[in-house]
């Protein structure tokens, strides 16, 4: 009962994270169309969130000594890496193709669990990933831009790898007594990401006056400062916090599949708020992603394997995983994504 309730709560938090992350593009696009460079929007997003989380960073300053590698890895990969690789990819290949490649991250998580951690992966989790990726291909209408650019594809795969490490690092330390507080890890991850993105984005070249004006959102004028506030507080701070908590309550592979809903949320919000057209294949693809996420988190193994925990969506497998990892004392702690 408790495991089932915990999984339900985790699923709800994962959905909240997907909605929060999915709304970033709808708020960012009007700012970009108003004249801000995409990389400058990303820098404002991460740096603003880092400033908001500064009190938590100070509160958990002991993490700098206890877990410096985790903080650096989270900031470099889960925050700065995803953003930098994704924007570099869309400079060479269509946005839809880059987004689809980035969301191969959950599949890479399964490969990590199976071949690096050498744990069993449930068939439900594997089927869920396949369906989610297939549905995403329809959501982003990948056939609309099939020109092959090997460098662009490699950059997209770099974003996918960083996204996979977001889920892996977010799960570190979930079952240990000395687990670092996820809020502290997020705070320092954002600080590290802000420093890295400052070098990449060069914000001193930005036209700051644009933030004092307004931007067009589906025919309505909206304050640029309000849009930026949404991106920082909802699409970054709230999204990262709920994302990490959902990974702790579910598992990296299940939370990764649910995160695929971010692209669906982004497409629907763009349809409603930006008056962008939503085609029949996109609607069907969104339904397929939903089915994949449901399958990945709903199936529970009939019995736990004797050799170790099962990677999937089961409460029993998750509890066994926590016990085994706590016994080994190897877990750390930590969150997205998505543009």
Question: pLDDT tens digit string along 261-317?
Answer: 877 787 788 788 877 776 788 788 878 887 877 776 665 443 334 333 333 333 333
Q: Which is higher by pLDDT, 17 or 178?
A: 17
Residues 6+ apart with CB under 8 A from 328: none
Q: What local confidence, expressed as pLDDT, does residue 276 receive?
A: 73
List alpha helices for 53-118, DSSP H: 54-59, 63-66, 68-73, 82-90, 95-102, 105-111
Residues 6+ apart with CB under 8 A from 214: 34, 221, 222, 223, 224
Asked whether residue 148 carries a pLDDT value surpassing 70, the answer given is no
Helix (H, G, I), strand (E, B) or coil at 176: coil
In the structure, what pLDDT confidence band is assigned to residue 331 with cuts at 50, 70 and 90? very low
Which tokens sit at 21? 């992350």
Q: Are 182 and 102 in contact (CB under 8 A)?
A: no
pTM above 0.85, yes or no: no
Type and span of the H or E element at 255: helix 252-259
Which tokens sit at 99? 């987004």
Q: Is the dihedral of CA 64, 70, 73, 75 positive or negative?
A: negative
Type and span of the H or E element at 314: none
Question: For residue 169, which of 73, 50, 63, 49 has the smallest C-alpha distance?
Answer: 73
Q: Are 259 and 231 in contact (CB under 8 A)?
A: no
CA–CA gap between residue 325 and residue 309 (Å, rounded): 10
Rg (Cα) of the chain, in Å, rounded? 19
């Amino acid at each position: 009962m408790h495991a089932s309730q915990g999984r339900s709560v985790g699923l709800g938090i994962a959905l909240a994270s997907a909605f929060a992350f999915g709304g970033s593009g709808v708020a960012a696009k009007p700012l970009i169309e108003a004249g801000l460079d995409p990389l400058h929007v990303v820098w404002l997003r991460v740096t603003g969130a880092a400033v908001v989380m500064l009190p938590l960073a100070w509160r958990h300053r002991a993490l700098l000594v206890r877990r410096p590698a985790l903080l650096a890895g989270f900031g470099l990969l889960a925050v700065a890496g995803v953003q930098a690789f994704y924007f570099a990819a869309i400079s060479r290949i269509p946005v839809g193709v880059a987004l689809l490649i980035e969301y191969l991250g959950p599949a890479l998580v399964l490969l990590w669990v199976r071949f690096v951690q050498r744990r069993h992966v449930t068939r439900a989790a594997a089927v869920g990933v396949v369906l989610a990726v297939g549905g995403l291909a329809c959501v982003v209408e990948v056939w609309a831009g099939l020109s092959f650019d090997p460098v662009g594809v490699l950059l997209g795969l770099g974003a996918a790898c960083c996204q996979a490490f977001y889920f892996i690092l977010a799960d570190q330390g979930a079952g240990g007594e000395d687990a670092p507080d996820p809020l502290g890890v997020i705070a320092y991850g954002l600080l590290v990401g802000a420093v890295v993105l400052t070098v990449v984005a060069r914000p001193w070249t930005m036209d700051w006056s644009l933030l004092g004006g307004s931007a067009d959102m589906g025919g309505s004028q909206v304050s640029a400062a309000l849009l930026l506030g949404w991106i920082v507080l909802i699409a970054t701070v709230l999204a990262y916090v709920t994302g990490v908590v959902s990974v702790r309550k579910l598992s990296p592979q299940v939370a990764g599949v649910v995160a695929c809903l971010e692209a669906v949320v982004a497409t629907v919000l763009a349809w409603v708020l930006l008056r962008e057209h939503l085609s029949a294949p996109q609607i069907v693809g969104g339904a397929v992603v939903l089915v994949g996420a449901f399958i990945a988190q709903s199936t529970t193994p009939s019995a736990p394997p004797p050799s170790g925990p099962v990677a999937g969506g089961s409460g029993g497998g998750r509890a066994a995983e926590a016990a085994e990892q706590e016994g080994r004392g190897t877990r750390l702690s930590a969150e997205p994504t998505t543009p």
